[in-house]
A and B are shown apart, each in its own frame.
Chain A
């Protein structure tokens, strides 16, 4: 009977982790790093003090497959419960009904597991439990007497009820919507989609309200909007309120730096991507992470830098779970063996400063790339700087909208607003009839004092944002 309870709990925990946190598990693998190259045991991990971290790093490699990751996450608490149960069996007579005591610790263990990004705490507690159970087992061999406990504690019905309570509590601990794991799962899901270029999927799963409320989600949505060419249509609907909404500046947390890497990589700006990757690496415990190593390898493959790409791939080859990943890239590596590295550079090198000046420099270099001009124009609109917008738009429009291509809605809205001071705009750029009508209605509502109604009715427009 006992073993079925353990199996049942294992399956229960596995299912909880697998279905509730698949992307968090994948993210944990990317955040960790394990390699058999010598520096990992001499410099990155200070053994034997770091033995549990090292073991954790080894196990986390397998989290790239959520099925296995969930199994390990489920196995650790079940093993812990087994140890506690073993102690109870050795210490007390007639312990059959006392299984609940072992399971009572389960929610606590799982609670700590939720925030254990390196498995160090989980493994430390588990091995402490193993040590205690061994000591008790040895004591039992030495003939220490069993202790008797009151009937109520070992009552089978009480035990069953408390087991169910333990399971329910564990369920709530794992699925707690306010937990760190839940928050990480949501962001890890977005990160996963962005890494795979599934921009439309991001736009589907993040609502406008979510984006307005949550800084992480807002940044991912804005990135997805840029990549799909929809930023100048929906930027303000998704809560754009500053040019700093496009990436992270001051927060140096793993998700933030990983986002910044995605941001720069999606724009083909590899130098700042590498810069942020090195900062991202130090957020992980060993000072390096699989995610960083994979990104570095991919960047240098892209730049045809054989030596550096091979270096990072070689280190990854000394982990346990990169066979398929390497197999896909080895032909690419082989193909660039004799090529000269390519460092994209157009014009004079410029120094990274802050978002708008940097993007402005990129617009200069890549005038036909809508993504840069959309970032710049929307960033300027977010700062409510109509004059600068108009100056930039006049330049950008020459290369992007001179062939009669439709001007995005937000730009039309901004142009209409500026037209009161610069009437020539209406001769130079075509404003859609629909936008005209909306603007007329908006100004009527505003002039009749119905500001709230106007802003509500035209939420997401540049006008509502400005006023």
Chain B
């Protein structure tokens, strides 16, 4: 039985129970009125949401009974009551509300019954802004424990954004020693997908339009392992970095882990011919190129690089990565002569990771950290955005948490939404946030990926990793798992 079916059954049961609970309990009138907004989790106050998002369920900690009224233009649209301070908005009612209010302000009035207010208190309503810019229907991500060396269950999962449906695209259930990572898609397509399976029978699995194959990069071309991928938007090429990665552990302090590379190069895989193409400029020991990423038109490859001061490379906090781009001809598979520097860390400070260009090609979003190449373990890591037309920085302070890491990010296909990982809830487990980037170029307050029960965010032991928007649900043939099955 798939996770999807099991979750659906449990959702059905939960919905039934909640409907029963609400319908059985009469609507109550709170005695007190408070002139403050409620302290809700997740913090959905003032967020901007797409009209096709799942119900924005929330909770008020410490509350026993909770009631909420969602209104638009002063008209009550949805009334929900809940227990344990949790509001679970019925999916059908929510969808109807979104459908008819695609560009509106939702006013959410919350009343709670707590120890402090045993006869109930109503808070000042907070607002959620609904915009008509739809978000891509699905996202995919890897779920993995937030440390350290080994793993048991891990897999790449997908989630429908208009509901709470989550299912595994591929997992290592059959062979727990296999590590699955670095999933990627060409131009948001759910018809093609690639990922690495590491382990005894591992390789890079490439699934394109119903056909699948396993590629062993250590046996072809320069015989280097393939690491971070970037699938060319036209589908024929996949750029890879080939990284020699290490982990170190700090004995004390709140920065327990550092991940770093001692070598990394760039290479290009031609799906059509099965060849690995290399450019000598990106294969040197002295410079460590990584995190390749294509411009939406496929005419530029963006990447970051560290110019090693001495060889061999060892960990040190002065490792800083610059941001570059090089032109690319998809007809020949050749890179242009000029390598442009877009971010010079020696001048601007910090280190750049994960460059991602907006679908209109005008903005470049990346993760900034003080040093290194693995920002999720850096509390200071934050998203930054470069305007490629003016070379100016866009202020993204509203997206970033000052205390904890904000890292891996992806643009939606229309460039209006960004999904990224953040450790702001507890400093350890990465959760996904979605933020609106409006037509005037203003970033809006992000919202935590809605869950059927907001407490899932606490109960989930795994971290979200590499969130990517996709156009639909991925269905890999069962045989794909056989490609990397191992009894070891």
Contacts and interface: CB of A to CB of B under 8 A. Distances in A.
Contacts, number: 118
B462 interface: yes
Contacts of A345: 252-254
B253 A349 contact: yes
Interface in B251-289: 251-256
Contact of A271 (B166, B256, B427): B256
A158 interface: no
A361 B251 CA distance: 9
Interface in A261-291: 269, 271-272, 274-275, 278-279, 281-282, 286-288
B429 A311 contact: yes
A43 B150 contact: no
A250 interface: no
Contacts of B148: 275, 278-279
B108 to A, nearest CB: 25
A305 B151 CA distance: 25
Contact of B462 (A43, A272, A274, A358): A43
A346 B458 CA distance: 31
B251 A271 contact: yes
B251 A272 contact: yes
B218 interface: no
Contact of B458 (A272, A275, A311): A311
Interface stretch (B3-11, B65-73, B183-191): B3-11
A308 B426 contact: yes
A362 B453 CA distance: 44
A288 B6 CA distance: 21
A47 interface: yes
A274 B251 contact: no
A317 to B, nearest CB: 10
Contact of B253 (A39, A271, A282): A271
A351 B3 contact: no
B147 A43 contact: no
B119 interface: no
A271 B252 contact: yes
Contacts of A288: 461
Interface residues of B, number: 40
A157 interface: no
Contacts of A315: 458-459, 461
Contacts of A343: 252-254
B152 interface: yes
B250 A307 contact: no
Q: Interface residues of B: mostly helix, strand, loop or mixed? A: loop
A315 B152 CA distance: 19
B426 A307 contact: yes
A42 B157 CA distance: 12
A349 B252 contact: yes
Given A38-B10, A44-B153, A352 B248 contact: yes
A293 to B, nearest CB: 9
Given A47-B1, A47-B6, A308-B428, A39 B250 contact: no
Of listed A43, A252, A287, A305, residue having the most chain B CB within 10 A: A43
Contacts of A287: 145, 151-153
A144 interface: no
Contacts of A395: none
B425 interface: yes
Contacts of A252: 150
B428 A39 contact: no
A279 B150 contact: yes
A430 interface: no
Interface string B429-457: 10000000000000000000000010110
A286 B252 CA distance: 29
Contact of B460 (A39, A46, A282): A39
Nearest to B149: A279
Contacts of B427: 305, 307-308, 341
**Those 6 A-B pairs whose CB atoms lie nearest each other, nearest first:** A287-B152, A307-B426, A37-B459, A343-B254, A345-B253, A282-B152
25 contacts: A37-B459, A38-B456, A41-B6, A41-B10, A42-B6, A42-B7, A43-B153, A44-B153, A47-B6, A48-B1, A278-B145, A278-B148, A281-B152, A282-B150, A287-B145, A311-B426, A314-B459, A315-B461, A344-B252, A349-B251, A349-B252, A349-B253, A350-B250, A350-B251, A352-B248
Interface of B: 1, 3, 6-7, 10, 143, 145, 147-153, 155, 166, 173, 248-256, 315, 425-429, 453, 455-456, 458-462
Interface of A: 35, 37-39, 41-44, 46-48, 252, 269, 271-272, 274-275, 278-279, 281-282, 286-288, 305, 307-308, 310-311, 314-315, 318, 341, 343-346, 349-352, 358, 361-362, 365
Given A41-B6, A308-B426, 6 more contacts: A275-B147, A282-B145, A305-B426, A349-B251, A350-B251, A352-B248
